[in-house]
């Protein structure tokens, strides 16, 4: 087995997972197939490029009392990767299952599964901290028992992390399970959280699991199947998930899209042009018999999931996953909460984001301040070596990049840059102070942004500029002041009792020669 990583962004990665029956790309969603009530012909999965599905070993066993299916691939009619869940979810629903941990391992080996899950003990949503602690210990005990019983090393075994909403317990479970040699780790019990839209708790759970687990192995999230959530959970480092949502939503006439759920009853036109939606309109679909309607809706729902995964993988390749998160956050206030919580973990996300990206980044506003590239720039700025006691010249950094190439800055920069007693810095949106030394580095020169002329943004950036200037202990500061931003910086500098010369210019009629002339005169 191998898990090869081809690309990274935030905590997300694009990878290839190889099992004994084939390979598939991650991030991946395993469509969950009910072995006793299959909704779709298995051929449809392969035709749609889905190379790995999941079924439930417990349901498979229960649906065929007295007879053992020889092989799960034959039973489902799917020759590529099949993952089997152990039945732990049924414990959550019914309180117990009639099988022992060793028995479910042996069963999964007999039916020739490719990815098997040990029988863990789910914490659930309503357990108190003590009970959660117990489920963590019980899962570890079961993991050790299962590891002793495993005979087939050609199966990839999954070690579930428990702890539920008790974040400390999730962290402890991740560290304990991470010490054990599982090929894949999984985070349990988030389904109820997702249904209740408690994305804030879910974010903390996933981050706690990621921090405790070995980073080289894939992380699976149980029961995540709404495409609108995929960018968020992938950004947090979930490589795989499984869900029957595509079929369950179809049963109740719900149509999945990347922005949320729609009711078939209320759709006039399908925006989607997948092979299903392109051949039927909503009115015709509503008039089909129940089984056919459920099938077509299931197919569209599944294709909507696949399409979103493609979009995410492409965003990872381009280094644009954060942009997708911001975009999605505007689709639904609940997702805005999701992003707000992710922002709290941005220093952790920053550690895993590539330092240089194939393309520039976008800055849309306040939320973009927390994207890893911005976090990193703020820290890097403070590490630039400075010579104290020079004169500082502050110039407006406008849309033109690098900032010094702006035709209104170039004449000033070219006359001052080689003077040993001058330090040049641009005041910019979104970066605040952009010292000349960093002007041509990533991401400054490659960022797309717009100035919303927001006074709060100006004040906040003016403060950063003043802090930067203070660090240089200048003998004199020249502020080439433009607009409200310039005024805000002037106020900040005066507030810090700096020796300041303000040269006011107007955006439309600035005369660089006159500006540089007066600076040189004053420098002496
Ligand atoms: Zn469609």
Q: Is residue 230 part of a domain?
A: yes
Q: Are residues 437 and 386 part of one domain?
A: yes
Per DSSP, the three-state class of 358 is coil
Q: How far lies 270's CA from each of 52, 147, 278, 413, in Å?
A: 28, 49, 8, 56
Distance CA 301, CA 255 (A): 6
Residue 179 corresponds to which tokens in the numbers above?
């010490």
Residue 23 corresponds to which tokens in the numbers above?
């390979």
CA angle 520–523–524, rounded 5-degree value: 90
Q: Are residues 227 and 182 part of one domain?
A: yes
Note whether 486 and 479 are within 8 A (CB): yes
Residue 296 alpha carbon to ligand 1 centre in Å: 9
Q: Is residue 102 part of a domain?
A: yes
Q: Are residues 381 and 415 part of one domain?
A: yes
Which residues fall within 8 angstroms of residue 148, CB to CB, at 6 or more apart? none
Residue 255 alpha carbon to ligand 1 centre in Å: 9
Comparing C-alpha atoms, which of 42, 52, 50, 102 is closest to residue 74?
Answer: 42
Note whether 419 and 516 are within 8 A (CB): no
Residue 449 carries which DSSP code?
E
Distance CA 141, CA 143 (A): 5
Residue 518, domain CATH: 3.40.50.10630
Cis peptide bond upstream of 27, omega within 30: yes
Distance CA 477, CA 491 (A): 13
Q: Are residues 400 and 338 part of one domain?
A: no
Residue 378 corresponds to which tokens in the numbers above?
């703020």
Distance CA 413, CA 480 (A): 12
Q: Are residues 106 and 59 part of one domain?
A: yes
Count of domains observed in the chain? 2
Distance CA 343, CA 346 (A): 5
Q: With 0-12 CB in 10 A as exposed, 13-18 as middle and 19+ as buried, what is 331? A: middle
Residue 274 alpha carbon to ligand 1 centre in Å: 4
Residue 303 alpha carbon to ligand 1 centre in Å: 7
Q: Are residues 421 and 277 part of one domain?
A: no
Distance CA 523, CA 517 (A): 10
Q: Are residues 158 and 24 part of one domain?
A: yes
Which range marks the domain in which residue 413 is found? 372-523
Residue 271 alpha carbon to ligand 1 centre in Å: 8
Residue 300 alpha carbon to ligand 1 centre in Å: 4
Q: Are residues 408 and 287 part of one domain?
A: no
Q: State the pTM of this model.
A: 0.92
Q: Is residue 364 part of a domain?
A: no
Residue 453 alpha carbon to ligand 1 centre in Å: 41
Q: Is residue 354 part of a domain?
A: no
Task: Print pLDDT tens along the chain (524 aa).
Answer: 689 999 999 999 999 999 999 999 999 999 999 888 888 999 999 999 999 999 987 777 776 666 666 789 998 999 999 999 886 556 555 556 566 788 889 989 999 999 999 988 888 888 899 999 999 999 999 999 999 999 999 999 999 999 999 999 999 999 999 999 999 999 976 778 888 888 999 999 999 999 999 999 999 999 888 999 999 999 999 999 999 999 999 999 999 999 999 999 999 999 999 999 999 999 999 999 999 999 999 999 999 999 999 999 999 999 999 999 999 998 888 899 999 999 999 999 999 998 888 888 899 988 999 999 999 999 989 888 888 889 999 999 988 889 999 988 998 899 998 888 899 999 999 999 999 999 998 889 888 888 889 999 999 999 999 999 999 999 899 999 999 999 999 999 999 888 888 888 765 556 777 788 888 887 77
Residue for token pair 């489920």:
135
Q: Are residues 387 and 251 part of one domain?
A: no
Comparing C-alpha atoms, which of 413, 426, 443 is closest to residue 515?
Answer: 413
Residue 72, domain CATH: 3.20.20.105
Neighbours of 478 (CB within 10 A): 25
Residue 301 alpha carbon to ligand 1 centre in Å: 7
Q: Are residues 402 and 306 part of one domain?
A: no
HSE, CB side, 13 Å, CA atoms: give it for residue 508.
0
Residue 257 alpha carbon to ligand 1 centre in Å: 9
Residue 256 alpha carbon to ligand 1 centre in Å: 9
Q: How far lies 64's CA from each of 35, 61, 271, 415, in Å?
A: 10, 6, 42, 85
Q: Are residues 216 and 178 part of one domain?
A: yes
Q: Is residue 509 part of a domain?
A: yes
Residue 131 corresponds to which tokens in the numbers above?
């009970």
Distance CA 462, CA 433 (A): 8
Q: Is 289 among the residues known to form the active site?
A: no
220 strand-pairing partners: 186, 240
Q: How far lies 207's CA from each of 86, 136, 167, 342, in Å?
A: 25, 17, 9, 9
Q: Are residues 428 and 315 part of one domain?
A: no
Q: Is residue 359 part of a domain?
A: no
Q: Is residue 434 part of a domain?
A: yes
- Active-site option among 9, 85, 112, 406: 85
Residue 45 alpha carbon to ligand 1 centre in Å: 15
Instruction: Please state the φ and ψ torsions of residue 496, each to the nearest 5 degrees.
Output: -100, 20
Tally of residues, the chain: 524
């Amino acid at each position: 087995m191998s898990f090869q990583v081809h690309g990274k962004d935030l905590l997300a990665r694009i990878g290839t997972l190889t099992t004994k029956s084939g390979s598939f790309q991650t991030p991946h969603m395993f469509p969950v197939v009910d072995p006793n009530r299959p909704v779709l012909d298995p051929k449809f999965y392969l035709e749609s490029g889905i190379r790995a599905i999941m079924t439930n070993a417990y349901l498979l066993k229960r649906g065929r009392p007295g007879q053992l299916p020889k092989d799960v691939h034959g039973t489902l009619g799917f020759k590529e990767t099949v993952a089997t869940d152990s039945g732990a979810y049924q414990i959550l629903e019914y309180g117990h299952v009639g099988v022992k941990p060793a028995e479910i391992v042996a069963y999964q080996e007999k039916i020739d599964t490719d990815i098997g899950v040990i029988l863990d003990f789910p914490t659930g949503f309503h357990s108190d901290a003590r009970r959660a602690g117990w489920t963590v210990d019980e899962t570890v005990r079961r993991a050790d028992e299962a590891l002793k019983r495993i005979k087939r090393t050609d199966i990839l075994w999954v070690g579930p992390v428990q702890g539920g909403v008790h974040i400390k317990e999730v962290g402890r479970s991740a560290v304990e399970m991470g010490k054990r040699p599982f090929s894949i780790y999984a985070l349990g019990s988030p389904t109820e959280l997702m249904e209740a839209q408690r994305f804030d708790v879910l974010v903390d759970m996933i981050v706690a699991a990621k921090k405790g687990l070995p980073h080289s192995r894939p992380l699976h999230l149980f029961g995540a199947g709404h495409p609108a959530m995929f960018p968020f959970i992938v950004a947090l480092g979930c490589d795989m998930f499984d869900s029957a949502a595509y079929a369950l939503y179809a049963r109740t006439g719900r149509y999945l899209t990347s922005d949320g759920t729609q009711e078939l009853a209320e759709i006039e036109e399908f925006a989607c042009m997948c092979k299903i939606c392109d051949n039927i309109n909503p009115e015709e679909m509503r008039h089909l018999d129940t089984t056919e309607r459920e099938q077509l809706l299931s197919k569209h729902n599944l294709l909507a999931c696949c399409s979103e995964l493609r979009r995410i993988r492409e965003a990872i390749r381009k280094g644009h996953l954060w942009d997708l998160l911001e975009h999605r956050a505007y689709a639904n206030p609940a997702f805005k909460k999701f992003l707000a919580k992710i922002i709290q973990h941005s220093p952790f996300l920053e550690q895993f984001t590539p330092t240089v990206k194939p393309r520039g980044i976008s800055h849309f506003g306040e939320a973009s301040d927390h994207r890893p590239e911005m976090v990193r720039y703020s820290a890097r700025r403070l590490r630039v070596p400075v010579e104290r006691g020079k004169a500082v010249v502050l110039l407006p950094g406008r849309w033109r990049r690098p900032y010094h190439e702006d035709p209104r800055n170039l004449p000033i920069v070219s006359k001052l840059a080689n003077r040993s007693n001058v330090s040049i810095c641009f005041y910019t949106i979104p970066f605040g102070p952009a010292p000349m030394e960093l002007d041509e580095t990533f991401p400054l020169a490659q960022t797309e942004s717009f100035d919303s002329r927001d006074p709060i943004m100006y004040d906040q950036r003016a403060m950063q500029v003043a802090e930067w200037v203070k660090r240089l202990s200048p003998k004199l500061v020249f502020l080439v002041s433009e607009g409200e931003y310039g005024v805000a910086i002037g106020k900040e500098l005066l507030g810090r009792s700096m020796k300041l010369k303000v040269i006011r210019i107007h955006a439309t009629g600035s005369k660089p020669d006159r500006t540089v002339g007066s600076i040189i005169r004053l420098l002496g």
